[in-house]
Structure 1
């Protein structure tokens, strides 16, 4: 018996000394190293998120330190509602106090009706505040919930329900197709501010970065190699949105997205313009939208001439005027992302909810502009346009409407005549 035990012990020691045993030990050590690296990377990511949240809310934490007896759950009631000054509302919620409570009052009936989702019930004002805080800071739900004294799930529900209610109740008022009188006013504004005649809007697309989807990664990977959800928008001469279509996968081209949108259907059916068309340069002509090279040339969409070194002076002048006027939507997109940094990277939002949140952000942008809320240029510091290049797909000339070339010719004549008069 003793000899058997000694033999078994000898075999175990020999196995431990074998190359296979040594390889298994190395494999365990590698797994442990990988686990530690992942742990420290997650820890570093968490710390960075906390630092970002602290930077976004530095003044609010100052208020909390100033009232050490106040619990975080009471911060909204005892600090924000009682002690916030006008500049605090603009700095923390990026809209004035008057605009904030205007939004709350408009949403109150529906939010009160949906109060069954919250235990205990949260007032509509607090739910709107939680949702706006997420849109203006773009930090994780787990970072927001201690500040308002609610759980991460409640933060998620606030963002979801407030976004739905903004789209349901406020979008029909602040983001809608214009009537005939409003179209005439848009034409006057575009001519006065941007020097472009017979124009009612600037058309472009916005790629919003998202996390890699589990099952649709190819569809949402754009031409620059990063994943995004695509939004098509039209703004007036003041930079306010009047048509937004959100939720397209990032791999889709602008021309395909346009043909899939309600804007295309309305324009092709003649429902977007006055009937009969207004006169321009001696002929009846539809109002026009301004696009870039990624859109097809139509009698209601103008884009620049392709710069191949053979353009005439008239055509070069037309390109210059169009690009200048088209910049109004580029500026609008910058302001939109600066006002709602949630759109810089959508981490905590599902693909199903994201189009609704985008529409809500565009609607809130219009509300802030309509209520003359000041825009702080420092908000633009969070945007680094050179970091993520915008995808662009030039449209083949075969997709252009040949009759639309006459419209560009009329515009060239108009700008030439204006130059001679000047």
Structure 2
């Protein structure tokens, strides 16, 4: 083959190879274009998915937790000395730990969405709220939680206290040892055969507009009445919560299970003692607002030129009856939310008051004393508040009750160990000695006018 034919064949093969190469290049380019489109589609789907996940996480974060500073509990409280801790939470650290142990049923567990508030912090929030006059909004900022969370924690805590501290108020029905202990305690104070001092305390509330007239009291504001009896050491033995402010103490007592029990229980008569020539049963004592009966002693009405024996009787009774005033003073001084008014829904008032009364008894058992400055602050608040006086004296219709009172009056006159007292209005000043008594709870509300 000559040279010219060889060159021609070579050229033909080169052209064919070039055509095949171009076709392969085109196929590769088409595949690359298709692959790029798929990659872009995948990237777009991934971006959409990430955006949706981010939005979902943002929504959950907004619902479940708002970032707040919580330095007060995590840092400041840890650095507090015992005095500052007591001032903030109205009890000492030892009693605080005992309360935490008792209310473990209010402890929460972590969820997949958030970490729960620890038990000790929950108890601290509740105690700070009850012991402070601050609004829930202020407490929420201080502890770094939501305002509604503060309200929920306070209610959970109060329900837990009522469930787990029930043994702190369980006097009724009393046993023989309990009657002897309390009667002997009042005898030391100067009044024999007494099992409890009874009185009522108005606690300010914010009722619904349609119910406001029933809650309006003689002092000019809206309240519920805490009717209570206490022993010789200012320990509540009975509480009745929820009667509206327009009802007076005697009306509530006449409808209460406390009166019914003292009328029907034989144990008080069985423990009678011969005084002044008459068998005196175990009694309650109250002020002039109550009706004189065979189970309720009250002062003689004031008259000009009152006999010395009656003055002495009134002095003895008022001196011993001040233990219930002391109990109310301690309750309001320690739990300022009670003393300065409950700004909560009316349906939550009773359980908060009941829990505070129970804690009052528990802390007395723990010898957790009231600071004098707390009482002075309460007295200053009461002095600045309009508090008109109202004397309600009910008629007495039991001849045996008058005989009992006269027998005690003669007994005091014969004993004459403390001299004559000037008047029967020696009211308590809020200072009381912590005690170790127990009590009973009656939280029925009586919605009726006097």
Among candidates 172, 176, 183, match of residue 167 of structure 2: 172
Among candidates 260, 267, 276, match of residue 270 of structure 2: 276
Distance 1:274 1:130, change over 3 A: same
Q: 2:178 matched to 1:182?
A: yes
User: Structure 1, residues 351-378: CA drift from partner, whole Å, max 9, x if none?
Assistant: 1111111111111111111111132111
Aligned to 1:86: 82
Number of residues paired by the alignment? 346
Distance 2:120 2:399 in 1: 54
Aligned to 1:324: 319
The answer to whether the Cα contact below 8 Å between 1:198 and 1:280 also exists between their aligned partners in 2 is no
Among candidates 43, 67, 72, match of residue 69 of structure 2: 72
Distance 1:86 1:275, change over 3 A: same
TM-score between both structures, scaled by the size of structure 2: 0.72
- Identify which of structures 1 and 2 has the higher relative contact order when contacts are C-alpha pairs closer than 8 Å and 6+ apart: 2
SS class of match (1:244): strand
The answer to whether the Cα contact below 8 Å between 2:168 and 2:361 also exists between their aligned partners in 1 is no
Instruction: Compute the displacement of 1:254 (Å).
Output: 1.3
Among candidates 125, 128, 132, match of residue 127 of structure 2: 132
Distance 1:280 1:115 in 2: 65
The answer to whether the Cα contact below 8 Å between 1:253 and 1:393 also exists between their aligned partners in 2 is no
Instruction: Compute the displacement of 1:107 (Å).
Output: 0.9
Distance 1:382 1:265 in 2: 38
TM-score between both structures, scaled by the size of structure 1: 0.77
Aligned to 1:403: 400
Distance 2:418 2:118 in 1: 61
The answer to whether the Cα contact below 8 Å between 1:296 and 1:401 also exists between their aligned partners in 2 is no
Aligned to 1:44: none
Among candidates 204, 213, 219, match of residue 218 of structure 1: 213
Distance 1:215 1:172 in 2: 37
SS class of match (1:230): strand
Instruction: Compute the displacement of 1:156 (Å).
Output: 0.1
Which of the two has higher C-alpha Rg? Answer: 2
Q: 2:155 matched to 1:160?
A: yes
Aligned to 1:374: 369
Instruction: Compute the displacement of 1:170 (Å).
Output: 0.5
Among candidates 230, 248, 255, match of residue 243 of structure 2: 248
SS class of match (2:341): coil
The runs of 5 or more residues in structure 1 that have no matched partner are: 1-70
Distance 2:146 2:170 in 1: 32
Distance 1:347 1:358, change over 3 A: closer
SS class of match (1:234): strand
SS class of match (2:211): coil
Distance 1:346 1:91 in 2: 20
Instruction: Compute the displacement of 1:226 (Å).
Output: 1.5
Distance 2:231 2:386 in 1: 26
Distance 1:130 1:83, change over 3 A: same
The answer to whether the Cα contact below 8 Å between 2:216 and 2:246 also exists between their aligned partners in 1 is yes
Aligned to 2:415: 418
Q: CA RMSD in A?
A: 2.3
The runs of 5 or more residues in structure 2 that have no matched partner are: 1-67, 420-450
Distance 1:368 1:173, change over 3 A: closer
Distance 2:146 2:418 in 1: 66
Distance 1:289 1:102 in 2: 33
Q: Where do 1:83-162 residues align within 5 Å?
A: 83-108=79-104, 110-112=105-107, 120-162=115-157
Distance 2:88 2:94 in 1: 14
